[in-house]
Structure 1
């Protein structure tokens, strides 16, 4: 049976700058058995190359083709919708690079889209400019709607928090491409090259990783090494197929042996 894995990173592979014990061994096993996998992330700040470098410094050697970001999903989808389109971008280099790779130009003059990703470089002048563009007809696009992102000493506002300002100001709802959007999950599975029923989604977040996997018909696996505790499952109407302490627990998965 040809199987493939979609793997969240923060809380699954690492926490902050620390590798989660055994994560490197699981990835090495997939490589040895030539099982396709993608690291799938809602972080649009880093390019695929940046993510590859971060993982390599933690002892996980992969290629850029093993990384799939919400910026990539966003850029590919919009390029299909409107080839050679234009966008006013609120976000960092990872998003900019993905858009340029898909022939979407950066523009502050009547752009087709206002695209929002994670970043620390935005300011109220950018929000005001984006508001005016949206009111003139630019479509509001979010790389994801995560309200916050974990940092070493707590959380910081995420892409969803920035998007909320624009939605409130304009009365327009953003179209989101990141997890749990089926757009991102479907594109990632196609890149894996495996069938829906043979796709595994490994994540630590019920609201993005697990619900996305459940809705797409993937085999969903929740790891407890991130932000979700076992008792939290009582708060949800849906459940993963498997709950495990960490990704290392999958070393004995029957499909891998």
Structure 2
């Protein structure tokens, strides 16, 4: 196995909505064939790993469940380390529920240790009100991520986990802890799965506030792709920079470009 490993964001890097970004399939196939360790790193807690694998398979990318690492998994492992065999009231979907169960947590409707918030398409205000009262009564507030919105189809957006969490924060005066990107909790656990050193870990993403910031904080090499939420003209607004900038993941299929990223310090634009 190679000493260099990759953490790869999905939406905006591998696909946009339901469309595969050109070159993504070939790049992942190259990683598999050349035995590079890698994980898809996503701040979406809705789907479990099997569902993500199935979605990628429909797009022509064949990977295993071990290649998927979600903020739900990071959150569940963090909580299991903090309070083994604890309890949680959950606002979220299957991916989050599965991760919590697999890490020894019970889902309850009364007096939980934690209130855990993830993405959801059918979140009801009654659930939010219940969560508010639980937090006021001592439950700790956890968010799988603090993304205010998520990309959707037809170039639209939908409210993200951070939007739901902010309602509870405002009502309770308590701030949520989030284990998702860019928190080093998620980045560190994912790196450990790769078995690589920080200097040999490459984070590929399209979002400065999560992918690139998380990589910078961990000392990873960072690659910003311009096929997602960040444009080249946006970079002046940030006090940190990616190590490399590429137009799309297609460029990484050029052996010279990949060699520069793995071993060199050249910023590609």
TM-score band by shorter chain is over 0.9
1:152 deviates by: 1.4
Q: How far apart in 1 are the matches of 2:227 and 2:175? A: 33
Where does residue 83 of structure 1 map in the other structure?
Answer: 84
User: Secondary structure of the equivalent of 2:210?
Assistant: helix
Instruction: Tell which deviates more after alignment, 148-157 or 61-70.
Output: 148-157
Q: How does 1:57-76 map to 2 (within 5 A)?
A: 57-76=58-77
How many pairs align?
256
Where does residue 126 of structure 2 map in the other structure?
Answer: 125
Counterpart check, 1:55 vs 2:56? yes
Where does residue 137 of structure 1 map in the other structure?
Answer: 138
Q: Which runs of 5+ in 1 are unaligned?
A: none
Q: How does 1:213-224 map to 2 (within 5 A)?
A: 213-224=215-226
Where does residue 8 of structure 1 map in the other structure?
Answer: 9
Q: How far apart in 2 are the matches of 1:113 and 1:39? A: 27
Q: How far apart in 1 are the matches of 2:243 and 2:121? A: 37
Contact 1:88 1:106 in 2 (8 A): yes
Q: TM-score, normalised by structure 1?
A: 0.98
1:121 deviates by: 2.1
1:250 deviates by: 1.3
Where does residue 23 of structure 2 map in the other structure?
Answer: 22
Q: How far apart in 2 are the matches of 1:130 and 1:211? A: 30
Where does residue 34 of structure 1 map in the other structure?
Answer: 35
Q: How far apart in 2 are the matches of 1:28 and 1:155? A: 30
Contact 1:7 1:202 in 2 (8 A): yes
1:171 deviates by: 0.3
Tell me how large the CA RMSD over aligned residues is.
1.0
Q: TM-score, normalised by structure 2?
A: 0.94
Q: How does 1:165-180 map to 2 (within 5 A)?
A: 165-180=167-182
Q: Which runs of 5+ in 2 are unaligned?
A: 264-269
Where does residue 250 of structure 2 map in the other structure?
Answer: 248
1:128 deviates by: 0.9
Where does residue 155 of structure 1 map in the other structure?
Answer: 157
Contact 1:131 1:169 in 2 (8 A): yes
Contact 1:204 1:224 in 2 (8 A): yes
Q: How far apart in 1 are the matches of 2:87 and 2:137? A: 14
Q: How far apart in 2 are the matches of 1:221 and 1:127? A: 37
Counterpart check, 1:233 vs 2:208? no
